[in-house]
Amino acid sequence: MSELRPFIAGLPKAELHVHHVGSASPRIVAELAARHPDSQVPTDPEALVDYFVFTDFAHFIDVYLSVVDLVRTPEDVRLLTFEVARDMARQNIRYAELTVTPFSSTRRGIDEKAFMDAIEDARRAAEKELGVVLRWIFDIPGEAGLEAAEETCRLAVDLRPEGLVGFGLGGPEIGVPRPQFKPYFDRARAAGLHSVPHAGETTGPQTVWDALTELGAERIGHGTSSVRDERLLAHLAEHRIPLEVCPTSNIATRAVAAMDEHPLRKMVEAGVLVSVNSDDPPMFGTDLNTEYEVAARLLELDARGVADLAKQAVEASFLDFAGKSRIAAEIDAYTAAWLAR
Ligand SMILES: [Zn+2]
């Protein structure tokens, strides 16, 4: 534990790359597993810790989907969403753009309107009771192909819940080329949604270029391999296209071999705007505070540097100017008080 831990814990933060189901803590997963005993997922929180150790990215996807399978009713959805927000509030996360995969739930027979009502109900309750502002990014589960893309796009554009701000693409990259999803991103963008696909996590920089040129990406999920292409790094920096960096996730999925080899520092040195994120925190045995500690070590930051990093995430968010200013001012006030103590 670093000496920055208490500073980071109290620091007001925004999180931009964190998955809805992937944020389910062992307690919540155990509760859901107990409600659905036919699933393969352990019902004991301690056994879940072992269950969440992955041999490779494909194994991670398998485990992730087994947890997705536990969310079967609108009440499961509401409970999960509100509990995720509770964990965020405990970390002083003020604002989060939560990546939600509605296709996984509607395909399992949850009524689409009931699903939207469940997340919106949880969103309003989280803001009112916990002080956490949630927004949604609906993502296409890439492994489910174009059928999932069509359905996700329809749900996003036609049912568009109030909290929806972005349209994404997750799941495996290998064997799932980004350009095939262009028509769906075109439709979502025409409807005013921001484009935020995952790219360059487990494949090379060409996937990031594809996300930019074909999908109109305004932010890149991971983009880890961007550092292998100087021209791409320069492009991201020049056009202020942020990378959503999730260090512990990259190690857990073996996207990066070791933390000391993590490319975060190279991204920052190239002038790329970055946000620090936890991705699927309980599955990776982490949380956002821990990711800030990791980033502080990789970038050799002091408290002021960590505060600047937190402000980069606010800047990279889809909040409006007033919303960004409000959280940035909170970060400044907190940091000034901390340094003056
Ligand atoms: Zn992700």
DSSP codes joined into one string, 243-301: EEE-HHHHHHTTSSS-GGG-THHHHHHTT--EEE--BSTTTTT--HHHHHHHHHHHHT-
CA distance 158 to 136: 15
Q: How many residues does the chain have?
A: 341
Centre of ligand 1 from the C-alpha of residue 168, in Å: 10
User: By C-alpha distance, which of 325, 341, 335 is closest to 92?
Assistant: 335
In tens digits, the chain (341 residues) has pLDDT values of 578 999 999 999 999 999 999 998 877 888 888 889 888 888 887 888 888 787 777 887 788 888 888 999 999 999 999 999 999 999 999 999 999 999 999 998 999 999 999 999 999 999 999 999 999 999 999 999 999 999 999 999 999 999 999 999 998 899 999 999 999 999 999 999 999 999 999 999 999 999 999 999 999 999 999 999 999 999 999 999 999 999 999 998 889 999 999 999 999 999 999 999 999 998 888 999 999 999 999 999 999 999 999 999 999 999 999 999 999 999 999 999 999 98
**Residue 59 confidence (pLDDT):** 82
Centre of ligand 1 from the C-alpha of residue 194, in Å: 16
- The amino acid sitting at 252 is A
Would you state the CATH architecture of domain 5-24+76-339?
A: Alpha-Beta Barrel (3.20)
Centre of ligand 1 from the C-alpha of residue 208, in Å: 14
Domain ranges across the chain: 5-24+76-339
The catalytically annotated residue of 31, 201, 218, 291 is 201
**Is 201 a catalytic site residue?**
yes
Residue ranges of alpha helices (H) inside the chain are 5-10, 26-35, 45-51, 57-68, 74-90, 102-106, 112-125, 145-158, 182-190, 205-213, 230-238, 247-252, 264-269, 288-299, 303-316, 321-339
Centre of ligand 1 from the C-alpha of residue 11, in Å: 23
- Whether 197 and 179 have beta carbons less than 8 Å apart is answered as no
Supply the pTM of this predicted model.
0.93
CA distance 297 to 128: 35
